[in-house]
Structure formats: C-alpha cells, structure tokens
A and B are shown apart, each in its own frame.
Chain A
Amino acid sequence: MSDAALPAPATPAWTARAAGRLAGISRRSPTLAIGAAIILGFALLAVLAPLISPESPVASNPARVLQAPSAANWFGTDGNGMDVLSRVIHGSLYAFGIAIPVVIVGLLIGVPVGLWTGWTGGWPDEIVMRGSDALRVFPSIILALAVVAAAGPSLLNVVLVLGLLDAPVYARVVRAEVLSLRNGTFVEAAVAAGNPTRRILFRHILPNALRGATAQTAVRAAWAVRISATLAFLGVGIQPPTPEWGAMIRQGAEYMVTGEWWVAVFPGCALILLVLGLNMLGDGLADLLDPRRKAATR
C-alpha cells in the first residue's frame, strides 16, 4: 500500500527527501534510529581515536596510579597510571576490528553453505544441518572459549573461530530463504526460461536470501563484540595492556571491591552501549523487514 503516488509536490531537494525518509524510519522504528546513532557514534570514535583521545592509551605513568576521575583524567587512571578515557576511546577500534571481520568470515562461510545446501538438498543438507544442530547443543560462550583456547588464543584465531561458530546462523537463515524461494513461481519461471542454475542462484535467490540475513548481522556483530570481550576478560586471547574493553574490565576487577570503580566501570559502560546499539539496530531491522508488522499510527 505504501508505494502509491501522492499528488507530487514540487520536487524537493534531495536533502529534504533524505531528511523525510530519516524521520519516517525514526517514527516507524525509533529503536532502529537510536541503535544506528549509537553505532555511528562509536564508529566515529574508532576512526578519530588517535585525534581525539587526550593521551596515548598505553602511556603508563607511575606518578598517577589509580587516580579518581578528575578534570585532568575524566575517567581516572588505571593501575599502570594509564588514562582510562584514552583507553576506552581506543577500545572501540578493537571492538569494530574484531566484530567486522567475524561477521565477514561468518557470512563468507554461512551464505554459500546455506545457498548450496538449500538448493541441492539431499545428504549435504542433512549433514550440515545435523552438524549445526549438534553445535547448538553447546552454550555458545563456553564453546567459543574452549575452541579458541584449543586452537591457540591468537587474535586471528579468535576471529576465525567466532566467524566459524557464527556461520551456521547465516547458513540457516539463507537456507530457509532458499527453500521457500526455490519452489516459488518466479524461480520456476526463470528455470523454464532456460536460465542456468548459477544465474538463478545469484541473480534471483541470493539478493532475497541476503535480506533475511541482514537483520541477523547486527545481532551477530553484537554477539561477536560480547564474546571477544569475554575472552579478553578471562585472559584468553587479547592481553593487557592492550586497550580492549574486556581486558580493561579484567584489570579493574580487583579494584571493584576496594573502591577504585572507574577502571572497570567505564569500559563496561562503553561495551554495554555499543552492544545495546547493535542489538537495537538488529531489533529495528527485524521489525522493519517483517512484512507482518504494519505501521501503526500513534
């Protein structure tokens, strides 16, 4: 119903149209708009980190160990006398630096596997699905931890393992989409018109299937940020004094029961905020892409 034409007003400038579309999406899904704004904010922090952070994130200074937040150090200093604010800002680099490759690895593995198993069916489908069923029986945090530890806790392994564990999620979404499209009229028509399989898969099915995976990517990125921080908190993978939020919380943990809260609290807040933004974006996208949910006037 939404694509019907209104009596066209004088063609507005593209800025006005873009503003209208932004306002429309924000009205339909404030969750999505806030989530996107939070992510954008952190992306800016990550890109501008060297410019805007007041100090180097790893400049230790024994003269000002564990100082409370002040005008000089807004977020205080940690046990090495490093500036917590600078470290929190640089932490966003690590969050994106892990989450983005994890999502890419997951998509690169999951999407082709989902396409293939959904299209051919038969025993490859059966094996892949049973395998991913078996994976789902393990709690994801513990599985990720155990596999990273077994594979050797390097940053590359963290990314590869998290991506690999993520792949079944995309594979399932894409496979379900392929299955429902495979028997659809427009694919039948494409087959009847003599299109080769590859063309049908990539021209017709893939774009539709990716739509289904889109909302998942935000939620999975949130998962990747959380798990990688958890790994660092436990000391598996990234080690202090790397300015990674999980590793910073690890450093601050012992001070929580002695009163120097700022070492762990600020990186935790940053972590929550970014994960929250990604989850809100994912929720909002899912709402927006769900055809059953129609807009309601408030």
Chain B
Amino acid sequence: MSLLEVRDLHTHFIAYDLDNRLRTARALNGVSFSLEPGRILGLVGETGAGKSLTALSILGLLKPPARVVAGQAVFEGRDLLALPPEELNALRGARIGLVVQSPKTSLDPLARIGQQLVRLQRAHRPEFSAAQAEARAAEMLAAVGIPDPKRRLRAWPHELSGGMAQRVLIAMALVNEPSLLIADEPTTGLDVTVQAQILDLLRGLARQRGIGAVIITHDLGVVAHYCDEAAVMFAGQVVEHGPVSALFARPAHPYTRALIAATPERLQLRAPRPSGSPPNLYALPEGCLYRDRCPMAQDVCTRPPPDLALRDGHAARCHLAEAA
C-alpha cells in the first residue's frame, strides 16, 4: 500500500472581483501522484505551478478564498481531505512532519528552541514528561548535526543562522517520528554550501528512519541528486511522473524536456526552454494546458490528454508521449 496517494486533487480560489463577478482561479486541476514508504519524491515545477498549494491542500492548511473542490489524499489508508479537523490536526506534526522555506521566521520568536521542541512533543504525546521530552529534544538536535545540543536548547531563534534554523526545523519535523515528511523548498534563501548540507541531512535522516518524503523544489538538480521519484507539475497538474532515472533518461512530456534543457548543467544554446507565462488560471484552455507554449502542439491537443503509462512506472500526461 502506498504511504501517500493523491488522486485528482482540485483546488480553486473562488472570490468576487471589484465588479461583483464571481471569479474562479483553478489553481490545481487534478493533481495525482503516489509515494511508497521510505521513498523520496521530488515535486518540481516553475513558480505558480501549484507545488506548495498541493502540500497545503493535503495538510488542510488552506485559507479562504482557496478551497479543495475535489480529490482525495490517502495517507496510511485514511483520506486526509475527509478527516475532521481535529483528527487531521493530530496527524500534522506527529505522523506527518513539515519543513518550510523560511526557517528563521517560522520559529516562535518568543520561545527558546528547547521549549518549542518540548511543546511540540507534548502536544502529540501527553504521556511524555518534560524531562523526557527535553532529553529527546537534545538527541534530535544532535541528530540534525547541531553541535553542543544541550546548550542550544536554551538558544533563542534570533540567535540562529539560517542554516542552523533549518536544522532546527528538521528536528521539529522529525521529533515525533513521522512516517511522512513534506519539505517545501527547504533550501530557499540559504547559502549554496549550506543547501547541499541540508539536503544531504534530509535524505540521510529519511533513509535511516525509513520515512517517506516529498521534497518540493523548482530545481531539477535537487530532484536528480536527492530523490528516487519525480513528479513534474505544470498549471496545477502533474504532467509527468516516474523514477528519477527513467524520467531524466527519457523525458516524455515536452514541458519536462524544456525544463531539463534549461537546468544550468545542461544549458544548450539551441534547446527549447520553458518560455512564456503560465496559463491564465481564470480562463484555462480546453484540452492540454501546455498547448499554447508547446512547440509540438497538434490538433489532438485540444482534447484533454490521458495520463499515458510508459515503461518502468513512468507516465506522462501528453497525447504525443509515445512518439517521444
């Protein structure tokens, strides 16, 4: 059984505009992917493709006017989207850990690191004594590579560097021994050398503890180096997914090919690059959403493309995938 299976997730922004017309921005248009226990999935796409929104939808953290209008997110056999809020809240931070992209501002500025780790444990495991929780907090800080963890428990968030704060966030995400970890752009804003350390740490801890992880990134290089699986998002859909090796060896969707060609290591002068802006979410075209930007677009593309299965668990949402 999959650890997490997201099926046909639709999230819309629904609001009245200044002319009093009800407008719907269709931000997620049928996101589907699945994750096996202990595997690492890279969810990749350009800004606005709906990567973070997917995570927020699954975790029930959407704010109005955003709203999940259809779909399922089955985690350990239960549909997260159908759970009552309290039950979902009990899973978040316990069975599902989250690492976000602005670690320095995501820590409570008025609580010491140790207090925050203890608070989080006792919220989900009331049976822990304060002393037990503090001991585990120190262990966790050591596990994420923070030197002198006992002393660091007394540190205030503003005393930490960005990389250090991100390690603390990872410690918080893992302290309750989750089976799923979602890391949303975990290295944005960090120094390049620190980025690699953080990603190494994330992968190492996930492997060592058998945790399934979703790493959300706009960087294909991160997917290639740190993930087992990849899911490429465009305009609120997963347009291609599969094992990293297969996906990079034989990219089947024209968008994936354009993305790969645009990564710095492979930048070729004549390569087709993703160009143009994402489609207008208020007036999405019928059929393939990538049609307007696709160099290979044909008449058939005005019909919605199927999720075509290729070899090795690799699939692409494109009429022309087999031809590729």
Contact = CB atoms under 8 A, between A and B. Distances in A.
Interface string A1-35: 11011110000000001001111110110000000
A2 B20 contact: no
Contact of B282 (A4, A22, A23): A4
A23 B15 contact: no
B64 interface: yes
B14 interface: yes
A24 B13 contact: no
Contact of B280 (A4, A22, A297): A4
Contact of A28 (B18, B280, B283): B18
Given A294-B65, A296-B65, A4 B283 contact: yes
B303 interface: no
Interface residues of A, number: 19
B282 A1 contact: yes
Contacts of B281: 1, 4
Contact of A295 (B16, B280, B282): B16
A22 B15 CA distance: 16
Contacts of B283: 4-7
Contacts of A5: 280, 282-283
Interface residues of B, number: 17
Contact of B64 (A17, A22, A28, A296): A296
B282 A6 contact: yes
A24 B18 contact: yes
Interface string B14-50: 1111111101010000000000000000000000000
B21 A295 contact: no
Nearest to B65: A297
A297 B282 contact: no
A27 B20 contact: yes
Nearest to B22: A297
B113 to A, nearest CB: 29
Contact of B20 (A6, A7, A23, A296): A23
Interface string A272-298: 000000000000000000000011110
B19 A297 contact: no
Interface in A72-94: none
Contacts of B23: 2, 4, 6
Given A6-B23, A7-B283, A296-B65, A25 B18 contact: yes
Interface string B61-96: 000110000000000000000000000000000000
Nearest to B14: A297
Contacts of A25: 18
Nearest to A19: B20
Contacts of B64: 296-297
A127 to B, nearest CB: 34
Contacts of B25: 1
B65 A17 contact: no
B16 A2 contact: no
Given A296-B64, A296-B65, A20 B282 contact: no
- 10 shortest interchain CB distances as A-B pairs: A24-B20, A23-B20, A4-B282, A24-B18, A295-B15, A20-B19, A296-B64, A24-B19, A297-B65, A20-B20
A2 B14 contact: no
Contact of B65 (A7, A21, A24, A295): A295
Given A4-B280, A20-B19, A21-B20, 4 more contacts: A1-B281, A5-B282, A6-B23, A27-B20
* Residue among A1, A22, A27, A294 with the highest chain B CB neighbour number at 10 A: A1
Contacts of B280: 4-5
A246 B38 CA distance: 75
A285 to B, nearest CB: 13
Interface in B1-22: 13-21
A24 B16 contact: yes
B236 to A, nearest CB: 14
Contacts of B21: 6, 20, 24
A295 B17 contact: yes
A265 to B, nearest CB: 39
A20 B17 CA distance: 10
Given A6-B21, A20-B20, A296 B15 contact: yes
Interface in A12-61: 17, 20-25, 27-28
